Structure 1
Amino acid sequence: MGSLEGYGDAAAKVLQSGGVRVFDIIEVERDDGVVIRGVLLPRPHYGDPDVLVLKLPNGYNIGVDARRVRRLRKVGRVEPGRAAPSAPPSLKPGLPRIH
């Protein structure tokens, strides 16, 4: 896990220049001065391969065009995990059972 597989040439070049891997926390400054911080996600199988996919702290995923990246730096790393299965809801006495 950490491969840049699926990212296009422009994206891979930007990511490699910053020593960044998938699941690193990065800060990206675009050419318009906007700074975005998020976790670099693996590339989906669809969409523009030169768009960096980031998970923001608020949980949203966004794309950043690698051709517009002015500066990129690694600020940390998260370890990918699997979501634990949730417990089934508890039954409430007195309510009908629906099948």
Structure 2
Amino acid sequence: MGLKGLGAEFASVLLSEGLFRTFSNRKEVAAYAGLVPTRWRSRSVSHEQGISKAGNARLRTSMIQLAWLWLRHQPHSRLTQWLYTRVEL
């Protein structure tokens, strides 16, 4: 409740849809939510096709919304600054 942009309803969706489980690392969380990249390969050609969308749709939607809310409500955090530097915004 102390984070700006993260209310009780939003937190309850995150908790009830998957974050109650135990994950060994962040890759497992991303895979469960369907937020892992998919690659397309054909001989010498390889490129990203976006996220897989194979996991829990409600959890994935909530996590994406959380990312956008974080950028809006925590503009001076180290995480936000790292993202802006990485994508050169």
Q: What TM-score comes out, normalization by structure 1 length?
A: 0.24
The structure whose residues are more often strand, as a share, is: 1
Q: Which has the larger radius of gyration?
A: 1
